[in-house]
Amino acid sequence: MRYLFLITFWVTTLSMGAQNTKSYECTKIFESRKNELLVELSRIDEERQSLDALKRATEELLKKKESVVQGKDSRVDQKLQEISAKEASTKRMLEANKKILDEIKQLKSDKVSQTFAKMKPSASAGILSQMSLEEASAIMSSLNSKVVGQILAKMDPKKGSEITAALRRIPSQAQK
Model confidence over 61-97: pLDDT tens digits? Answer: 999 999 888 888 889 999 999 999 999 999 999 999 9
In the chain, % of residues over pLDDT 70: 83
Q: How confident is the model at residue 21 (pLDDT cuts 50, 70, 90)?
A: low
- 1/73: higher pLDDT: 73
What is the average per-residue pLDDT within 120-147?
86
CA distance 15 to 13: 5
Q: Where are the domains of the chain?
A: 16-106, 119-176
Model confidence over 100-125: pLDDT tens digits? Answer: 998 887 887 778 778 878 888 888 88
User: Looking at residue 171, what DSSP letter applies?
Assistant: P
pLDDT at position 138, please?
84
Q: One-letter amino acid identity for 125?
A: A
Rounded-to-5 percentages of helix, strand, coil across the chain: 90, 0, 10
